[in-house]
A and B are shown apart, each in its own frame.
Chain A
Amino acid sequence: MTSLSTKPSRKGLRFLLAALALSMTCGWMRGLREDELLCEETAARLADCCPDFDPSVLECSYYSGCGTTSYPAITIAESECIDDLSCSELIDRGVCGRAAHATQPTEHTDGDETTTEQRVEVCP
């Protein structure tokens, strides 16, 4: 009788642990990084200001693994720069166009050597 009553609770505990482990790997609990949030906020602002801007073209995720680290396509400094400009200034200065083709800052690490991929700044 005891084993019958404890089995479901053990199963439930295993299920909870598995669910927690799974959720830790997905975005829900991976961590709310400043650069990711500011990139998403900036994407929303650009979608409001820039004609025909599709926010889904921006990659605002941080990724690190296998010797490669990729940061959001709009950096924190670029987010602050875009935040300081009006919508007409964003269009006139070509920020909208550059943002539509923004690439992620990426670092490759091989042993002690780290190389950084070149990219065009969105908001100089």
Chain B
Amino acid sequence: MKRAPLLLLAALSLLPAKALAEEEPTIDPYAVEPEPARRRFTFYATAGLTYRPLYGVPILGADLEFSFGGRTRSVDIHGSVGGAIGRTEQGLLAGQLRIGPTFLFPVGDRVRLGFEPRSGWIGIRRITKNETIGDLTAGLNGIATVDLASGEEYAIFLGGRIGADYLMRANAMLFAGTLMLGARY
């Protein structure tokens, strides 16, 4: 009988621990839910109209570019290859090829801003003989896109690109403005 109070005391001291062990786990309201897995690769294609004055000679043409690359939370990084083909004011055939990386930063849900270092070649077909005069180019474009329609994995967007290219052999500048429609997957 002398042991009875001791046993009771021991039982009481264990009770809270047992009760605590049986409690349901608490939910932290501030815990961040893990994001769903994001696709790592993206593909861009754009087509548009481009205007490129060179030495005061306006060149109007069609522009096409393809980009393939990766996406992080803050930036899309692509390798891009593109070109433009058009005519000068007097109808001479003109073309440009370019290659380089594209960096696009999402700003809000629908807008992306970015820049594109580019190197390439520009050429204009002579009328006086069967020959093309051309030059190597290095330049930088600024690009902005606005999504017109988007799904989980794709978007159709409207975009604009302005930039300047340096003609390396002629030491001249070529400015360009492009309005384009594109698709992102």
A interface, CB within 8 angstroms of B:
27-34, 36-45, 47-48, 55-56, 58-61
Contact = CB atoms under 8 A, between A and B. Distances in A.
Contacts of B135: 29-32
Contacts of A39: 128
Contacts of B123: 28, 32
Given A27-B131, A32-B122, A60-B128, A41 B170 contact: no
Contacts of A28: 121, 123, 132-134
B136 interface: yes
B85 to A, nearest CB: 16
A66 B91 CA distance: 35
A53 B131 CA distance: 19
Q: Could you tell me the dominant secondary structure of chain A's interface residues?
A: helix
A24 B176 CA distance: 25
Interface string B45-58: 00000000011010
A76 B88 CA distance: 17
Contacts of A33: 133, 170
Contacts of B90: 41-42, 44-45, 48
Contacts of A34: 55, 170, 172
B140 interface: no
